[in-house]
Chains A and B, each alone.
Chain A
Amino acid sequence: MEQKRLIYMDHAATTYTKPEVVETMMPFFTEQFGNASSVYTFGRKSKAAVETAREQVAKAIGAKSDEIYFVNGGSEADNWAIKGIAWAHRDKGNHIITTKIEHHAVLHVCEYLENNGFEVTYLSVDENGLIDLDELKRAITDKTILITIMFANNEIGTIQPIAEIGKIARERGIIFHTDAVQAVGNVAIDVEKMNIDLLSLAGHKFYGPKGIGALYIRKGIKIENLIHGGGQERRRRAGTENLPGIVGLGKAIEMATENLEEHNEKIRKMRDRLLNGIMEKIPYTKLNGHPEKRLPGNINVSFKFIEGESLLLMLDQLGICASTGSACSSGSLDPSHVLLAIGLPHEIAHGSLRLSLGDLTTEEDIDYVLEVLPKIVQRLREMSPLYEDFIKKGEN
């Protein structure tokens, strides 16, 4: 292999932690380590740092700081939001509305609730991954207690009409949760204007540390606890605070939302150059997800006649990190539920590639991927009996 530098195109999976973020965290490991719940001054200093971070998170999404609860990440936030609302409102109804393209941290929670007496409507999406607002309205019954719809999809990057959904939920008096794990730091969010009642976020998607996240819960919303134990987080989420993580989350979300537009513009430009290059250089390629309403760093394409895991392995040999919705890479039976939900046949879904750009991406990375990807795809196609059949049938 001629080259083995790291070309990281998997920012949607996780990001590195920015040095500035790490720097603000460091003292909270070694020096200012006191328990934020202790009464002595040393502990109260830790508490103050936690509260500063809470304000930073609140500000980033247009919430008030006493509406922010720290949790250990996106999955916990989703679990808490959905189970907590379901259990707290089951006297009012047992119906939940979500979509077919949620992350498993939402879908598997919904399945768990279905096994426990709840009914769940999984809204379908169109070929671009967007829900139909009329279908949402029609799905609402007098038993509906929760609408949970992701802000932006982690695989195909499609951004839902969140403000419109919030408006519908508000008009019907239904609680609205959104999994914004992929959206924070990529899309401007205002929980007030968008009528969002609960919102999940995770630090490791926007250059913060792993293992820390937050759930926003609008003031006045009744919710059951998920983690029982000590009285931390205003008796709502037990467990000694992850002090360095919380401080890092605060710093990271502040940095990520400060120059949002400028940052997005830069990423989007590189993304578009890469995407246009791929579409131009590689025939029989399909873009998955919405052409415009998508995360600035997201590319998801399917290359016909080849399978995604073998593509990832070849890219990896050249130091390129990416991901796929092929079943063969996850060890599961079917390809990505998201790709099937937008109507891709199995074999096209197996040939999908997600490249997610971010802060680590450079123009040289784009050039390099545009140089090697077409060759790799062609190499795999030449090994593929599907391509052989296609060529023999005549190119149409």
Chain B
Amino acid sequence: MYSDKVMDHFMNPRNVGEIVDANGVGEVGNAKCGDIMKIYLEVEDNIIKDVKFKTFGCGAAIASSSMATELIKGKTLEEAWNLTNKAVAEALDGLPPVKMHCSVLAEGAIHKAINDYRIRMGLEPWEDNITDLDDHHHHNNE
């Protein structure tokens, strides 16, 4: 059901953990739906110097968090903001259709963390067009 890439990022997730003095933190999802993603950023000179995540969720959620954090590490905030969920899914060699929302969560968590940073810096948050992240299920019934 999952690609080798997904399994690799699930079994050996990159960037798991917490940044204690992070200057941008974003959390999306809810426990009721079975997935929560939390992203910690350490931003310096507009560059993501370090990024870590914590995720409660299925294999795809953990793999998406791992891949998304890999893709934004060392990037500018603009580049990180423009990372789409599709790009995360593609980098994982695809996700099953019912799991695409996991990549959406990753994109959303990054946006939230970036805006948290901007607010802390006294900047206007960027407009986020990802909505509904806390009630994101469009699963088919069995």
Question: B38 to chain A: which residues have CB within 8 Å?
Answer: 385, 388
Question: A330 to chain B: which residues have CB within 8 Å?
Answer: 142
Interchain CB contact under 8 A, A307 and B11: no
Known: A317-B11, A347-B34, A383-B16. A309 touches B59 (CB 8 A): yes
A329 proximal to B (CB < 8 A): yes
A386 proximal to B (CB < 8 A): yes
0 or 1 for each of B29-66: is its CB under 8 Å from A? (1 = yes): 00111111110000000000000001111110110000
Question: B27 to chain A: which residues have CB within 8 Å?
Answer: 385
CB of A33 to closest CB in B, whole Å:
36
0 or 1 for each of A296-321: is its CB under 8 Å from B? (1 = yes): 00000000011101100110010000
B117 proximal to A (CB < 8 A): no
CB of A123 to closest CB in B, whole Å:
23
Interchain CB contact under 8 A, A328 and B36: no
**Nearest B residue (CB) for A386:** B56
Question: A39 to chain B: which residues have CB within 8 Å?
Answer: none
Known: A314-B11, A382-B16, A385-B27. A347 touches B57 (CB 8 A): no
Q: Is the interface of A mostly helix, strand, loop or mixed?
A: helix
Known: A317-B11, A333-B139. A328 touches B56 (CB 8 A): no
Other-chain residue from A310, A345, A386 in contact with B62 (beta carbon distance below 8 A): A310
B134 proximal to A (CB < 8 A): no
Interface size on A, residues (CB 8 A): 29
Q: How far is the CA of A10 from the CA of B138 in the complex (A)?
A: 29
Count of CB-CB pairs between chains A and B under 8 Å: 83
Other-chain residue from A317, A332, A385 in contact with B56 (beta carbon distance below 8 A): A385
Question: A346 to chain B: which residues have CB within 8 Å?
Answer: 31-34
CB of B119 to closest CB in A, whole Å:
20
Interchain CB contact under 8 A, B31 and A332: no
Other-chain residue from B7, B13, B34 in contact with A307 (beta carbon distance below 8 A): B34
Question: B142 to chain A: which residues have CB within 8 Å?
Answer: 104, 330-332
CB of B7 to closest CB in A, whole Å:
8
A350 proximal to B (CB < 8 A): yes
B140 proximal to A (CB < 8 A): yes
CB of B70 to closest CB in A, whole Å:
15
Interchain CB contact under 8 A, A331 and B57: no
Interchain CB contact under 8 A, A327 and B54: no
Q: How far is the CA of A388 from the CA of B55 in the complex (A)?
A: 10
B116 proximal to A (CB < 8 A): no
> Which residues of B, 1-33, contact A by the 8 Å Cβ criterion?
2, 7, 10-11, 13, 16, 18, 27, 31-33
Given contact pairs A306-B56, A332-B141, enumerate 11 new A-B contacts (beta carbons under 8 Å). Answer: A309-B58, A309-B59, A310-B62, A313-B10, A326-B34, A328-B57, A332-B140, A335-B34, A350-B34, A383-B62, A384-B54
Which residues of chain A have a CB within 8 Å of any CB of chain B? 104, 305-307, 309-310, 313-314, 317, 326-333, 335, 345-347, 350, 382-388
Which residues of chain B have a CB within 8 Å of any CB of chain A? 2, 7, 10-11, 13, 16, 18, 27, 31-38, 54-59, 61-62, 98, 137, 139-142
By Cβ-Cβ distance, the 9 closest A-B pairs, closest first, are: A347-B31, A328-B58, A309-B58, A385-B54, A385-B38, A346-B32, A350-B34, A331-B98, A384-B56
Would you give 14 A-B contacts (Cβ < 8 Å), ordered by A? A104-B142, A305-B56, A307-B57, A310-B57, A310-B58, A310-B61, A326-B58, A329-B58, A330-B142, A331-B139, A333-B137, A333-B139, A346-B31, A347-B34
